[in-house]
Structure 1
Amino acid sequence: MNLLDQRLLAEGLGTALLLATVVGSGVMGVALADGNDAVALLANAGATAGMLYVLITILGPISGAHFNPAVTLVMAMRGEIGARQAAAYVSVQLLGALAGVVLAHAMFDLDLLQPGTRVRTGASQWLSEGVATFGLLLTVLIGAKHRAAALPALVAAYIFAAYWFTSSTSFANPAVTVARGFTQTFAGIRLQDVLGFVLAQGAGVIAAVAIARALGVKEPRPT
């Protein structure tokens, strides 16, 4: 297997395991919470943050552990990966995300694909997604420059926090958003609400890149 194929496998596998965790922990959290949404959210956030830490630590050296088209877009804008590799990354992230949802459903004996029914729309939700994505990308960009060894913990900690301080529960990832449109579980989103989330995430990306530049995190110089 060549280097690019290894990277694509790592991105697809990592994104699949991330979504299996997001959806599966939501199902398990609801089952154990006995109607207490706070307990279900805590289980969902904790499992997702823990899995992110593991995945970034073990797969980061192979692919960079993006697992997120927003991160891939920023890396392409900065010239750290080429346009063709970025397109391939986004493709396997989307496929991996959908595979992760199917895997979670199979583990809990649910219909494998279910059009989402959970309403997530409106200005507060879109603002939350913009803020969540902005904070995630700023964490990645500044963390990679100043605290690279701590990046897995920084990203995991940010996502855990953002589950709680945003009304959208911090999707912050277009592939995650699309895939969660195919589950009716605690983690789901209506398919008609996906576009609003993705547009808000795009705005968060633009803001993060601008603020990172202002803080001195500039694009690498061509060699």
Structure 2
Amino acid sequence: MLVAVVVGSGIQATELTRDVGVQLLANSLATVFGLGVLIALLGPVSGAHFNPAVTLAAWFTGRDRDGLTLRDVAAYVPAQIAGAIGGAILADAMFARPLVKLSTHDRSAGHLWLGEVVATAGLILLIFGLGRIGRAAIAPAAVASYIGAAYWFTSSTSFANPAVTIGRAFTDTFAGIAPASVVPFIAAQLLGTALGLSAVAVVYGRPVPAGDEVVVPHGEPELASS
């Protein structure tokens, strides 16, 4: 559903106006609202793990405690990628576009990769920082707001999600990314993940408590550590 929102709103925007700024505004607003709703709706079910970068970060920080296991990661990541591809196909179907047409939107440039590093690092810092200060309940609004802002302040328009990046390669529309651009984008996102976790350690001094509740709590609430 997340990728259906991103791709579908991009298609709708390009059909309604030729102004690229208005197209980006429409696309970003739809993504903000859609992402916020999806986190609020699915956070209590799965922790709203839509993003392999977040899932890997949760496993890494909680590997020595009662956090996500490698088995969890092995289940989550394929589901995230399959969902992203399915979302792109669904959006194309809703707008009578070819169901699968690889994107020709080249995004291969150093400044775009830098934008992805910054976007992903900020996202990781936000999500795990909220967990550290006991504010995970505001994640739907906070994460959606950050992604909306990052659409505009990063050169890459903030994919910040390896699964979403892969899914968007399957649609030759406004939101697409050429397959040749996918691997460098994902590499930048993984680098951003590492930098984001480092920033959490610097800001908060100790590793974050991780697990499958890093996005939205879905169980008995726990007090944040001091």
Q: Which amino acid aligns with 2:48?
A: A
Offset at 1:209?
0.6
Higher relative contact order (CA 8 A, sep 6+): 2
The aligned counterpart of 1:124 is 111
9, 14, 32: which one pairs with 1:30?
14
1:2-42 deviation per Cα after TM superposition (whole angstroms, max 9, x unaligned): xxxxxxxxxxxxxxx00000000000011112x10111101
Identify the range of structure 1 (212-221 vs 65-74) with the bigger mean alpha-carbon deviation.
212-221
The aligned counterpart of 2:128 is 141
Asked if 1:50 is matched to 2:39, the reply is no
User: Could you say what secondary structure the match of 1:71 adopts?
Assistant: helix
Checking the alignment, whether the CA contact within 8 Å between 1:129 and 1:204 is kept in structure 2 is yes
- For 2:186 and 2:30, the matched residues in 1 are separated by 23
166, 185, 192: which one pairs with 1:197?
185
Offset at 1:128?
0.3
1:89-118 deviation per Cα after TM superposition (whole angstroms, max 9, x unaligned): 001000000000010000000100111100
Q: How many residue pairs align between the two structures?
A: 205
Identify the range of structure 1 (184-193 vs 209-218) with the bigger mean alpha-carbon deviation.
209-218
Q: Which 5+ residue runs of structure 1 have no aligned equivalent?
A: 1-16
Q: Which amino acid aligns with 1:135?
A: G
- For 2:124 and 2:112, the matched residues in 1 are separated by 18
- For 1:221 and 1:114, the matched residues in 2 are separated by 38
Asked if 1:110 is matched to 2:97, the reply is yes
The aligned counterpart of 1:156 is 144
> Residues 65, 221 of structure 1: CA spacing in aligned structure 2 closer, same or farther, 3 A cutoff?
closer
For the aligned residues, what is the CA RMSD? Answer: 1.3
The aligned counterpart of 2:4 is 20
Q: Which 5+ residue runs of structure 2 have no aligned equivalent?
A: 212-226
Higher helix share: 1
User: Could you say what secondary structure the match of 1:111 adopts?
Assistant: coil
The aligned counterpart of 2:217 is none
Identify the range of structure 1 (117-126 vs 212-221) with the bigger mean alpha-carbon deviation.
212-221
Offset at 1:220?
3.1
The aligned counterpart of 1:90 is 77
174, 183, 186: which one pairs with 1:186?
174
Offset at 1:77?
0.5
1:35-60 deviation per Cα after TM superposition (whole angstroms, max 9, x unaligned): 10111101110111101110111110
Q: Which runs of 4+ in 1 moved over 2 A?
A: 219-222
